[in-house]
């Protein structure tokens, strides 16, 4: 079972790729406490009061694709994969997102689906307006946030 999302960002694919593949980029729209190694085979570490999340970088194709695998974090996320596919379409960079490999459609999957959409809009805002809303200043959606 997969979580899917799509946004169009008025920014070159190379810029979107940078926001997905560097610690500085990820800190600007997802989690301002981003550490670790963003190279292929490295592990990115995202930390918050609620806990941590470690992502192994499996693929990096500049301006085209990023693939991570969850190696530590919430039980439901373990071994799931998260992909970002980019392509230019007119003035937009189209971003296709997939968080794949959920075992069950649990309530937490519902929560994460909505939350990913919020973070995609944060990514869009960061690239278009220079201002994202990364954790801990992210938009709250429910009582698990």
Which CB atom, from 43 or from 94, has the smaller least distance to a second copy?
Answer: 94
Which CB atom, from 8 or from 62, has the smaller least distance to a second copy?
Answer: 8
Which CB atom, from 39 or from 131, has the smaller least distance to a second copy?
Answer: 131
Helix H or strand E segment including 27: helix 23-29
Non-local CB neighbours of 88 within 8 Å, separated by 6+ positions: 12, 13, 94
Which CB atom, from 68 or from 97, has the smaller least distance to a second copy?
Answer: 97
Phi, psi angle pair for 132, to nearest 5° = -95, 180
Smallest distance, Å, CB 95 to a second copy?
Answer: 8
Which CB atom, from 39 or from 103, has the smaller least distance to a second copy?
Answer: 103
Does residue 125 have a cis peptide bond before it, meaning omega lies within 30 degrees of 0?
no
DSSP 12-65: -HHHHHHHHHSHHHHHHHTBS-EEE--STT-EEEEEETTEEEEEEEEEEETTTE
Smallest distance, Å, CB 82 to a second copy?
Answer: 14
Would you give the DSSP letter of residue 48? E
Smallest distance, Å, CB 4 to a second copy?
Answer: 4
| Angstrom distance (rounded) from CA 106 to CA 129 | 35
Smallest distance, Å, CB 61 to a second copy?
Answer: 19
Smallest distance, Å, CB 109 to a second copy?
Answer: 6
- Residues within the interface to a second copy (CB under 8 A): 1-8, 89-90, 92, 94, 96-98, 105, 107, 109-111, 113-114, 117-118, 120-121, 124, 139, 141-145
């Amino acid at each position: 079972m997969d979580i899917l999302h799509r946004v169009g960002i008025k920014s070159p694919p190379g810029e979107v790729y940078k926001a997905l593949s560097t610690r500085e980029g990820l800190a600007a729209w997802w989690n301002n406490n981003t550490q670790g190694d963003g190279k292929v085979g490295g592990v990115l570490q995202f930390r918050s009061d609620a806990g941590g999340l470690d992502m192994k970088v499996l693929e990096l194709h500049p301006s085209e694709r990023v693939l991570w695998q969850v190696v530590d974090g919430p039980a439901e996320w373990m071994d799931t994969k998260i992909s970002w596919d980019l392509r230019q379409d007119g003035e937009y960079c189209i971003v296709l997102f997939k968080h794949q490999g959920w075992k069950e459609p649990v309530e937490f999957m519902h929560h994460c689906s909505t939350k990913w959409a919020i973070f995609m809009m944060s990514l869009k805002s960061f690239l278009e307006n220079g201002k994202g809303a990364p954790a801990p200043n992210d938009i709250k959606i429910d009582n698990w946030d």
